[in-house]
Amino acid sequence: MNIENKKQFATILLAVGLGLVAAMLMSKVVSDKVDTQTKIIAKEYQGRSAALVKEMDATKMTLKKLAKDHASLAKKVAEQPKMIRQSAPTPEKPAVQEMAFSLRTPPGKRAITVFIKPILAVGGLVNPGDFVDIIAHLEIPDEEGVVVSAKDKKEQEKVTTVLFQNIQVLAVGVNFNPMGELPPYEDQQEKEGLNVTLAVSPEEAGLLSFAETHGDLQLSLRSPAETEDKVLQQVASWDALADFVLEHQGTELRVPMRKSTITPEETEEMEDEEAKPFVQIFRGGREF
């Protein structure tokens, strides 16, 4: 091989080597660029994943809040009085409205309203749904049933007694729902009188109306745990009060004496006893 051929062969080898070096450098550049792009893409993916996880957590919190609000609303709806569907009207009897007051009256009872001063209605603290005892302060007429005039009314005999026990209060005024956390007791106390509607039997309704006409009524509030009636032996009077205090407190009260009335028949019997004829027998100056 001559010198000229050797130079050409060396030039080819040099070109091939430079090509290989250029290819290796290009491969390195491409690899680095791919790694850089891969890292950028991975970083963006992680950021998007974190944002997606955060958004999912916020959605879960919103769903929990909605579920809680739904449960609270369902509880409030359950506590509301159940709606009574209106039945189809018939020619004989009209349909009853869902809020008709008659639906509040217990079976076998009658609703009757009495007018009571707030101080006599437990200071105006009565509430629909309470149970009370009814006390009557009655004005007793004279034996002939004569109505006492206003001038002599102070001297008229009165009697206080418990008429009925364990009577349900259906309404106070126009309110027939049990009051909430802030009942308007102050408004009831400021009124001159309260219209209290009670649930009584038909016979009790007549007697209660009669007692209201001939005296004043008073309410005594009962505990919800006490449902039994007690048998009362005495009507409230000075003698009953004195006996009670003496028995339970050991104190003797000086009470006014009751005026005793003498009937004409008793007067005639006393006169007959005083004017009864008798015979005295004497013998030897001595009375037998």
pLDDT tens-digit map of 163-176? 889 999 998 888 87
Per-residue confidence (pLDDT) for residue 131, from 0 to 100: 93
- Total length of the chain: 288
DSSP per-residue string spanning 48-94: HHHHHHHHHHHHHHHHHHHHHHHHHHHHHHHHSPPPPPPPPP-SSSP
pLDDT digits (tens, 9 = 90+) for 185-231: 777 777 888 899 999 999 999 999 998 988 899 999 998 888 787 77
Domain boundaries, given as residue ranges, for the chain: 1-77, 106-248
| d(C-alpha 197, C-alpha 110), whole Å | 10
Do 116 and 194 contact (CB within 8 A), yes or no? yes
pLDDT digits (tens, 9 = 90+) for 91-127: 555 444 445 778 888 899 999 999 998 888 888 888 8
| d(C-alpha 268, C-alpha 275), whole Å | 10
| d(C-alpha 51, C-alpha 247), whole Å | 85
Stronger pLDDT, 258 or 64, i.e. the higher one: 64
Confidence of residue 277 (pLDDT cuts 50, 70, 90): low
pLDDT digits (tens, 9 = 90+) for 118-138: 888 888 888 888 999 999 888
Nearest to 208 by CA among 129, 133, 147: 133
User: How many angstroms separate the Cα of 23 from the Cα of each of 15, 30, 36, 238?
Assistant: 12, 10, 20, 129
Confidence of residue 272 (pLDDT cuts 50, 70, 90): low
The proportion of the chain whose per-residue pLDDT surpasses 90, expressed as a percent, equals 13
Per-residue confidence (pLDDT) for residue 88, from 0 to 100: 53
